[in-house]
Amino acid sequence: MFASYRGTEHLYDECMDERGAMRSPWSALGSLLDKLGTDELQSRFENARRIIREHGITYNVYSDPQGIERPWELDLIPLLITPDEWRIIKRGLIQRATLFNLILEDLYGPQELIRTGALPPALVFANPAFVRPVHGVRVAKNIYLHLHGTDLARASSGEWWVLADRTQSPSGTGYAL
């Protein structure tokens, strides 16, 4: 199955390294996929799409003028992340969530970020998501951030980048639950 596989130049290839050798986390999965064969993989992919369609698992693209619900897209082949990479990503995600929570704690508390000019007042007070009546209300364990979804991508160098953070209602939360 992977004999004819060729990566795309100037992009990081999750599966193959720059010499064309399969990266270590992919070796076992590559062998399994080869054993299943393309017909079985295609059958499983079609079955997954059928189940998604029958169960009405959809998402909305809110900027789409047609406003149609689209079937949730499922990649049959998972993204493999090594334990060492995951430790780095996990540490970064925890750091980001902690920072966002501290920002919210300040905005609903002493507002030092506004007072010192680190955040313009208009950015906060004109934002419809800022709930003025909650200012000064203490919350349990100082946890202001309850949901955090992060869109990650790889640079061509293999380095992970954060593309976006979603903190109101991250897409996919319902699927995870």
Q: Would the pTM count as exceeding 0.85? A: no
CB 100 within 8 A of CB 145: yes
Q: Is the pLDDT of residue 151 over 80?
A: yes
pLDDT at 168: 80
Question: With contact defined as beta carbons under 8 Å apart, do 14 and 80 qualify?
Answer: yes
Cα dist. 20→2, 3, 33 in Å? 11, 10, 18
64-82 confidence digits (pLDDT tens): 777 677 888 888 888 999 9
Average pLDDT, the chain: 88
